Each structure stands twice: as structure tokens, then as C-alpha cells.
Amino acid sequence: MQNILARGVGRRKEAVAQVQIVKGTGQFLINNIPVQQYLHNNTCSILSVKAPLNVLNVNNETNVAPSSTEQLNEGQNQVDSNSSLNKENTSLLQIDTIVKVKGGGLVGQAEAIKLGLARALCLLTLSEIPTSQDEVRKQLKDKGYLTQDSRVKERRKCGLKKARKATQYNKR
């Protein structure tokens, strides 16, 4: 049994993600599959999922973002360098992120994971992190990672085909 440091649950649409943070080597697994493979190398989703970890990384290293000339010259290499920086900083903290997610699509699952990870980081207390829980929570809240998106699918109404789709009106 692994020593669980923190847990968090995130929900978005039909997706529910259970996030556990344990001591380890800096891995990020979703349903026992690495993040890049699970999210089909969708860089937008991968960066979105790992965004709450940047709050911890910014506290440890001030120079995480690449320079503006690197952003203009090499878009793909910028994403690769960001992900490698995230891996290095996460491994500095020696934590593994283990996620179990079900329901919904990949984008909904990614948003649920982001919320669950942010909630788990609020509960995380490590000696390597110089800031307190309140400061981490405030930074996560300011960036909007702790706000749950309450939009869900509207229910089907009686007499209609879907939530709002009705048969065509015929006057005569």
C-alpha cells in the first residue's frame, strides 16, 4: 500500500476523477496509463491537466516560462521544453500523481482531473514546499483552478425529442 499524501475529487459534465498524490518518482498516471498516451498527445489537454502543478513549481523555480523569442521561433519545441520542465520540477518534489477517471469524453475528463488535482494540492503538506497551505490555496483560487464548472447537459422534456428540439410547427 502506498503512502497517500493527499486526495481530491473533480467532476465535469459526466466525468468523475479521483486523484491521489503519493511519494514516488514524479510519474503522472491516468488509469494506469501515462498522461501523453491516455490523452492522445493532445498538448492542450496535457498542459491543462498539469497546470495546477505549476503553482508548486513557480514557488520552487522562478524561471519556468521560456523567453518570448523561443515562443515565436519553435512552437512545438516550446511545448516539449515545458513538459520536460514540469517533469523535472515534479520529480524534485518526489510525488506521483495517480488518477482514476471514468465517464464523459477526454476533454471533460481532463477538466475533472485538473479540478481534482487542484483540490488535492490544497491538502498537500510537504517539507519541500516552502509555502503554507493557505498560500497555495490562494494561488490556485486566483488562477481559477478550484472553481467547478457547473454546466451540465440539460434534461429531456416531455413531448420533445431532446432538451429543446421539438417537431417542426405546422400551421395548416
Cβ atoms of residues 146 and 137 within 8 Å: yes
User: Nearest to residue 128, comparing CAs of 64, 61, 60?
Assistant: 60
State the Cα–Cα distance between residues 35 and 48, nearest whole angstrom: 11
State the Cα–Cα distance between residues 62 and 98, nearest whole angstrom: 26
Domains defined for the chain, CATH in brackets: 4-143 (3.30.230.10)
State the Cα–Cα distance between residues 110 and 16, nearest whole angstrom: 10
Q: Note the pLDDT of residue 64.
A: 38
State the Cα–Cα distance between residues 28 and 39, nearest whole angstrom: 12
pTM summary value: 0.74
The three grid cell numbers given for residue 100, joined into one nine-digit string: 482514476
- Enumerate the H helices of 10-163 as residue ranges: 35-38, 43-50, 53-60, 68-73, 75-93, 106-123, 133-143
| Number of residues written out for the chain | 172
State the Cα–Cα distance between residues 115 and 29, nearest whole angstrom: 16
pLDDT digits (tens), the chain, 172 positions? 578 889 999 999 999 999 999 988 889 999 999 999 999 999 999 999 999 998 877 655 443 344 333 443 444 444 444 544 444 444 446 889 999 999 999 999 999 999 999 999 998 866 555 567 788 899 999 999 999 999 988 999 999 999 999 999 999 8
Q: Note the pLDDT of residue 71.
A: 40
What is the amino acid identity at position 4? I
